[in-house]
Amino acid sequence: MNTFSKTIVNWYKEYKRELPWRESSDPYLIWISEIILQQTRVAQGYDYFLRFVERFPDVQTLADAEEDEVMKFWQGLGYYSRARNLHAAAKSMNGVFPKTYPEVLALKGVGEYTAAAICSFAYDMPYAVVDGNVYRVLSRYLGIDTPIDSTQGKKLFAALADEMLDRSDPATYNQAIMDFGAMQCTPMSPNCLFCPLVDSCSALSKGLVAQLPVKQHKTKTTNRYFNYIHVRTGEYTYIQKRTGKDIWTNLFEFPLIETTTAISEEAFLALPEFRALFAKDDRPVVRSVCRDVKHVLSHRVIYANFYEVVLPESSLSFSAYQRIKSTELEQYAVSRLVHAYIEKYV
């Protein structure tokens, strides 16, 4: 074990986070935790993990579940393709989690990082993990300014991570370098003064900590404008399931009219698409509940307006939508945006 690896592991033994998935070598539990943590901070994902594995404690339970229920247990975590991929992968396993790196890597939604994490943590195989924390630690420690999102950078850091790996205990080393990046060598304002690598960190000696790691591409975001219609018709309301290859696929939501730009309340109420939702003789009571709610996703910014429409229970309006009791809304998986509205206004 090289000096870097030894220092990282010694730091980890003193400061490591006590996490439930670290108490097990069950590849299923490790897989669930790694998928949750792909786009989610540990503090946020912790309770979701506990709830998810309590309901779906093994591969077969998850495979046998309905997708709508899986999505409901995932609600609030975002990046919902992760949940759909989990469910599809569980169905492909025939009740048994795969035991080799190529088989794990072949699972839907599993990339090289996740496969390395599962195989090292569950099976103690010598595969080095390379995630955002590892990129940051290696880039700073070695003083490398090759962009981490370039082909050259990905190859370089994969090779370096493999070179640094403690092959006698890959599970501990992988956990150590990830925790070190998450807790010590943080993206902003890392605690360099009390870092165990203070005397050998290239970025610190050259004053480049804030500049490393380097990314060559900035994520391009687009704005979208959603106008949701919350219908109250007696004790009932209306919802629909999102389909197609768009955000929030297979999640439920209120009737929605998307516009190309921000739109005033008067202009919205005059839209032909809005008027077409109502039966001929209906006289709806419409009010704006909240406007310009900003919801930020990785590649999109959603600006949402929510309108309430009150109709008689016998109304034939919104006939193309699914009619449910308002008290049953919580049974359906919805986006974080819609859920926030339901919690506050419904």
Minimal CA–CA distance to 32: which of 94, 103, 122?
Answer: 122
- In angstroms, rounded to a whole number, what is the distance separating the alpha carbons of residues 282 and 43? 49
- In angstroms, rounded to a whole number, what is the distance separating the alpha carbons of residues 101 and 123? 10
- In angstroms, rounded to a whole number, what is the distance separating the alpha carbons of residues 191 and 20? 27
Phi then psi dihedrals of residue 34, to 5 deg: -70, -40
- DSSP secondary structure of 165-197: --TTSHHHHHHHHHHIIIIIS-SSS--GGG-TT
Q: Which of 18, 34, 54, 258 is catalytic?
A: 34
Start-to-end C-alpha separation, the chain: 58
Place of tokens 């209306």: 238
| H-run or E-run covering 89 | helix 81-92
Cβ–Cβ < 8 Å for 130, 120: no
- Check if 34 is active-site: yes
Cβ–Cβ < 8 Å for 152, 130: no
- The residues assigned a catalytic role are 34
